[in-house]
Structure 1
Amino acid sequence: MTGYGDTYYARTLADTSQRASLEGVVSADVAVVGGGLAGLTAALDLARAGRSVVILEAERVGWGASGRNGGFVGPGYATSHTNITRMVGSERAQALHRLSIEGVSIVEGNIDSLGMTDNPRVYGKMSVLRYHDPDSLARQCETMKREFDYGLEVMPTEAVRNVLRSQKYHQAIYDPASFHFHPLNYARSLAKAIESLNGRIFEKSRVTGCDVEGAEKIVRTERGEVRVRDVILAGGGYTDDLVPRLRRSMLPIATYVLLTEAAPERIAEAVRTPLAISDNRRAGDYYRLVDGGSRLLWGGRITTRTTEPRRLADMMQRTMISTYPKLKGMRVETAWSGLMAYARHLMPLIGQLRPGVWYVLGFGGRGMNTTAIGGRVIAEGILGTSDRYRLYEPFGLVWNGGPFGVAAAQLTYWTYQAMDLAKERQAARTA
């Protein structure tokens, strides 16, 4: 057993080695609580700068959403650039989007510099409309080119349907710089790189308490403790009540992914491109070919409670078939879920609680690039090389609303689904 459950990534894991739990007292410069991509990226940058680092992971490296997601790497946040501009103004919003683009470059740079031969990248992503609106896509492409020199292209309906054999789809934005890959292999490669720089990683080492008031911080597990100058809290959707203020600032949201049986001929009748695919709905789906095109990995659906993945997989399967009727009868081989952390403002939670205590979490389904930049700016803050983490300060640790916030998040998602459906139906009537 790999300890990662029955996910596609666990089945295709390149490195299945396990790490020991923490026992006894150790000292370091920095302790990272959480072995997901944000914590790993911060730890790697710190180790590269000569700091001694200890990572404490309750399960295994990349066990949470970092190793269970769709594997899409591209710029942006869980909320739109327009909303971010409304919240913080044009100048800061542009700086934040540039950071999200940099996050993609960080992932690419790590893959290249660490020689991750077990993690090929497939470049290109299509963001598909489920109604006719080429003008809005053209405006979006123009904005990205003008403000960020970022090249996007509009794909007309004929070109889209030539590679995605579905009448549900109209135009798309094609992003040649985004890519998809194996996120769990990436996380474990980061861990190996940290250890090669004398960083220490302890698995099955859930943090049970922290003393963070003094200059020396003490982070405790069941069988040991770490004494450090700085602590990074990077628990993501699995954040518990270790630091109540953080827990009250995020909502754990479950997302779901399925993997089809191997059926390359049937899949090729529907999906004729290796690109990453997502639709434009706020409650949309995303998918990609894996195993050389023999299987389809399909994600979507979110809930505020962990529901049996198989039941949600049945719902996603129905969505897949309604999009691609040719896939009717295709068997779902496995399905899994993972918890993401969302803040009410839909922006990452990145900052400093008090001197020497840092936090980086809340990536809301856009974590492959934002975990990278979040980890980097926190490392820069600890090293004193920049204060770019302060760009995220305006969003803050906003109360999640408690049980009312959970209910509101679920209601909002259902409302989005209804609005998306109504918009599609209206577009179909006027077509």
Structure 2
Amino acid sequence: MGVQEQYSFDVEALRADFPVLDRKVGGDPESPGEGPGDDTPLVYLDNAATSHTPDPVVDTVADYYRSYNANVHRGIHQLSQEASVAYEEAHDTVADFVGAAGREEIVFTKNTTEAMNLVAYAWGLEELGPGDNVVLTEMEHHASLVTWQQIGKRTGADVRFVDVTDEGRLDMDDAADLIDDDTQMVSVVHVSNTLGTINPIGELADLAHDHDAYVFADGAQSVPNRAVDVKELGVDFFAFSAHKMCGPTGIGALYGREEILDSMQPYLYGGDMIRRVSFEDSTWEDLPWKFEAGTPSIAQGIGFAAAIEYLEEIGMDRVEAHEDLLAEYAHDELTALGGVEIYGPPGDDRGGLVAFNVEGVHAHDLSSILNDYGIAVRAGDHCTQPLHDEMGVAATARASFYLYNTIEEIDALVEAVGEARDLFA
């Protein structure tokens, strides 16, 4: 059976929902048609940074603006009621998607980063102090690392980092040593955006809970491409972003166990999050609204729900199988090419991305050359500078895949990487 025949759904039919994939790229954007390679088909392999948005989701957002654009929770007129219902039901959709108990456990944020900051400021500043510690990992995204680092500086809490092995996995013996009775929070990325490592969240949660610590999992790279159940994972907090999973930018979600969120004070103050205000004091709205101050991202929230419905129609088991197929194929083909160093676990044991370097070629130069072939990848440290320092490289190129990518696109990537290797040989 050919690799293409192993697709778990009709990828070509699905690509029709993403008109941007039909773009031709290259040449001078100021003078279309005059630059070299202006008719090169786009091969979009930067999905870990942001995915594309299918027409059904775009249509849902447009329908809000065209048909019932109004503020939520602010009026009794029909448009406001319709918008409020759609926005609230979007919380229900997100809650169901990740196995939360209900909308009370889902706070809409701008993105995963804001979700991390919400917990760090609303919980961390109140609960952490000298003698406490927060345990992270060396593969954390800056959204987690920098946030807890700065909270540690403000509170006097120690910030510890679980080692990463040479194969790109967490050293669980080190984790067991670092997580102790003074640990208050373990914050860990579910799937590394650089290494592709799928971390053992359940095992880490057990370690943390044995010491009465909370667990915050960064799901930005896991929720888009695999089924996630926060209750089964055993996490206390979990965050992810819509724009990496066929949704709009500017909207993400924080899952938090209801009893913890209920005990926390708001992170932002203002309209819509209050119940009663006097000149002397204020009281807060019920969950999740007490954490959603001001006019929220209404259209984006409704679009978020539409993106989830789109993914559910395909089936997350099929999305995961497709990602696994592409990641393993890309890992194996790039390895066979020679002169390419790939970071992280083997191809059959990683999320849908491959970070690599070509011998003698800086990652930025490689990305520029690939762009000439119409191939969009990310080059840099991917917001994991300390991890790159540990790996001994300044930057890597990262190809990341999603449900609309094909084997032929990976073949194009491998061929172009080979051309770049030979060019600098």
The bucket for the TM-score relative to the shorter chain is under 0.3
TM-score, normalised with respect to structure 2:
0.26
Larger Rg: 2
* Larger RCO: 1 or 2 (CA < 8 Å, sep 6+): 1
- Looking at secondary structure, tell me which structure has more strand per residue: 1
